[in-house]
Structure 1
Amino acid sequence: MENQTQKQKTRELDLYMAQRVLGHKTYNDKNGQAREMLESGQSRPLRSYSSDMGAAWEVVEKMGISILPVEQGWFALVGNAKGWESPADFINYLQTADFAHSGAAVGESAATTICIAAMKAIERRDADNAETFLN
């Protein structure tokens, strides 16, 4: 049962990446398989963004995620801007440790860590937008 729960969570994260990060519409085909509609109008099976590094790279490119190997895993960061002007700018940003206003994650799997950082960044931006709207 634990394995089924983990598969469900993984698929939910994949759906989130397709819908919220990449802006794809998703649906189930007549066989019940999840699919995503691309901007071109073509559809494809829902990619495994949280476990396939090739698929996760779409998320990296869309969000401008920086990913670094760390002891026993990976660190992924969505900064305030898409990309850095120089390595020095990246290091300066890291030294401020202002990760509350970005999306950051550490994990064993690069693909999963990328997806979690992207999700946190979107949730943070949604919260910031809601706060701005209310004020």
Structure 2
Amino acid sequence: MARYRRVNIDGKSLFKTETRLLAAATYPGTFAVINGSDKFAQSAAVAGRMYIIDCAHHEGLGIEDQIPADHSAIGNYLEEGREFAVRMAAGTYKKDQAVTVSASGLAIPVPAAAGTYSVIGYIQDDVTTTAVDFIRIRARASSVTVA
């Protein structure tokens, strides 16, 4: 069972969202962009205007329920300072650990390998999960170099 009941934790959902159909079935807490067909599509990298797909409460679905393709979805703007519960793979996470986006649209820790990475936010709690779960992040848009 997920630790959160909603994706948007900061309470700004009334004026910081877009509504579109989904290009493919998508879970809440997944990163998305608007594709050429004007639909939400899962994001495979940090690129352009990004959104975090919210729960489809309007369809009776909860935070752990996948939203079917071509159904209406609400995307929260990924903006600096906002807080969200996002999907992350099982693991041990530390407060203030930087995260980016994986090819599957999940938040992942910034790799330890040297390079420049697009940071989308920072984890807000120390937590260990044993399966994909929701982790609270505070959004940020920048790059970081790991030496």
- TM-score, L = length of structure 2: 0.28
Looking at secondary structure, tell me which structure has more helix per residue. Answer: 1
The structure, 1 or 2, with the larger RCO (C-alpha pairs under 8 Å, 6+ apart) is: 2
Q: Which has the larger radius of gyration?
A: 1
